Amino acid sequence: MIQSKSKERIKLLKKISLKTIFFNFRYLPFKQAVKLPIFIAKNVYLRKLSGTVIVNCPLSTGLIHIGFGEVGIFDDKKQRAIWQVEGKVVFNGRADMGQGTRICVNKDGELIIGENFTITAESSIIVSTKVQFGKNCLLSWDVLIMDDDFHYIKDKNGITKKPSQPINIGNNVWIGCQAMILKSSNIPNNCVIGAKSLICKTLIKSNCLYAGNPVICVKEEIIWSREQQDFSNLINYK
């Protein structure tokens, strides 16, 4: 076990880019930046680095990873993560943003990330107003979270609908691959969102499995865990 962890650390160190130093000192006060709490992988494209980043928790080196990790169906040597931030990003604890992750926070946008946050690979978060995650959230690959339509739409009375509305995702939420979470979505605590589901509304009940397009509750009173050894505790939802 110790040998395995040592190999993982060496593998991680090989992938860390010199962009790490620039990123930390660009965004954080000197006393925080010298600890290098944010690691940036070599395949991360730092497209825009304006706005602000706040790390709102006790700091440690490598607390936050951007662009690391491996998922077997993706080529980690070719896929690039993208950081395009003009607004505010708040980290409230440990966060892992995997290979090919795309983060776009527009000028007036705010992205709040809870403790123990993970995106596995190739997912996108686009923020124009506010997107907030609670603690212990897990996003699978190819997930799209977007709080903006980017186009104005008028109804039959000529009233223009708001193109952007906040998204709130509670604690302990698992979002399956290729799910789409759009503006005005609210996901309660302890929920699982099935693969390829579409959400653009407030989900009412916590501890539920939601799936489909449009999304519906397919099972109530579920329990899920990030740890593989605990999967036997999941309630059968056949």
Asked if pLDDT for residue 122 goes beyond 60, the answer is yes
Looking at the chain, the whole-number percentage of residues with pLDDT higher than 70 is 88
Asked if pLDDT for residue 23 goes beyond 50, the answer is yes
Given the DSSP bridges, would you call strands 64-68 and 130-133 parallel, antiparallel or unpaired?
unpaired
The answer for residues whose C-beta is within 8 angstroms of residue 143's C-beta and 6 or more apart is 119, 123, 124, 175, 176, 177, 178, 179, 180, 181
What's the pLDDT score for residue 12?
A: 61
> pLDDT tens across 76-97, in order?
777 899 999 999 999 999 999 9
What's the pLDDT score for residue 111?
A: 98
**22-26, 135-139, 153-157: least confident range:** 153-157
Asked if pLDDT for residue 160 goes beyond 60, the answer is yes
Q: Find the mean pLDDT for residues 148-174.
A: 87
Q: What domains sit in the chain, N to C, each tagged with a CATH number?
A: 2-149+159-202 (2.160.10)
Phi, psi of 156 (to 5 degrees): -65, -20
* Closest C-alpha among 55, 56, 137 to residue 97: 137
Token pair of 131, please? 């997107």
Q: Find the mean pLDDT for residues 172-186.
A: 97
